[in-house]
Amino acid sequence: MNQFQLLVPEYRRKGFPLLSHAFSLFTKNMLPIFALVAILTLPAEVIKYYFVDESWNERGFFSSTTGMDAIIQLIFLSVVALMVVYYILGRLTGGNVGLKQSIRFGIRKWPKILIYGFLQNAIISAGLILFVIPGILCAVWLMLLPIVVAVTDTSRTNPLEICREMARRRFFKFAGYAIGGGAITGLVLVPGIGIAALLPVESVIVNLLLDLYINFAFQFFVIVLLLVFLQVNTEWNDDALMSENPRD
C-alpha cells in the first residue's frame, strides 16, 4: 500500500502481546483520549436529550432509543475514532501531535467516515437480516474500515476493497482480535456501569456521563483495530519484499 496520508510504522506484535500493547497505549493516553471523546460526545448527548423530537418514538419512527443512538453515533461520534487514530499514530511514530491537530484531522475526514460508515452499517445490517452468517462475515470483513478511512487517501483508493484484501485468509485471526478486544472493552466498562447503577437512573446527567464513559471505553477497541491494521500492513510489506528478492 502506498496511498497513506499518515506515517504508518512497522508493527510485528501478534495475539496477546498486541492486545496488551493496545491496553498500554489506552491507559497511557487516557486523558487526551477522554478529551477527544468529550469534545463530540457532550454536544451529541445534549442534542439527543434536549433537541430531538420525542414524538418520533411515539409515531413509531424509532421503536426504541436504539435507532436514535445509532444515528447520533454515525453523525457525531464516528469521527472520534479518526481523531484517536491520528493521535495514537502520532505517539507511535514519535510525532509532535496534539489535540488540535487530531481534531482538525477528524473534521477534515468527517464526510468520508459518514459515507463509509453508512455503507458499513448498511452492508452488515443487510447480511444480518437476510442470513445471520453473512452479516457476521461482513462485520469481520469491514471491521478495519474506520482505520483504513483514517490512514489512506480515499480519493485514490477504495477502503472497502482494502478491508476485503486485509481480511482475506484472516477471518479467524480478525474474529479473535474482535472477541479479545471486545472482552477487554467490556471489562473497562464495568466500573462506569457499576457506579451508574448505584446512582439515580432517571438523572439526565448520570445518563450523559455514562454515555461519555461508554464512548471513551470503546476507544480501546479502536486502538486494537489500529494495531491489527499496522500488523497486517507489515505482513504485506514483508511479502512484497520477499517477492522482489526471492531466495535462491
On the question of pLDDT at 62 being above 50, the answer is no
**Residue 157: per-residue pLDDT:** 86
In a domain, 143, yes or no: yes
- Would residue 160 count as lying in a domain? yes
- Domain span including residue 26: 15-244
Report residue 59's pLDDT band, with 50, 70 and 90 as the boundaries. Answer: very low
Radius of gyration from C-alpha coordinates of the chain: 19
* Residue 68 clears pLDDT 80, i.e. is over it: no
Per the domain annotation, does 2 fall within a domain?
no
Q: Based on the structure, what is the number of domains in the chain?
A: 1
Domain-located, residue 3: no
**Confidence category of residue 107, pLDDT binned at 50, 70, 90:** very high
Domain assignment of residue 91, yes or no? yes
Query: pLDDT tens-digit profile of 209-248?
Result: 888 899 999 999 999 999 999 999 999 888 877 776 665 4
Q: Is the residue at 88 inside a domain?
A: yes
68 grid coordinates: 436514535
CA–CA separation, 141 and 45 (whole Å):
30
Gap between the Cα atoms of 195 and 205, Å rounded: 13
In a domain, 166, yes or no: yes
Distances, alpha carbon 99 to alpha carbons 21, 147, 202, 213, in Å: 22, 18, 33, 19
pLDDT, tens digit, for every residue of 164-207? 999 999 999 999 999 999 999 999 999 888 887 777 666 777 77
The grid coordinates of residue 207 equal 445518563
pTM (two decimals): 0.88
Q: Considering the domain boundaries, does residue 8 fall inside one? A: no
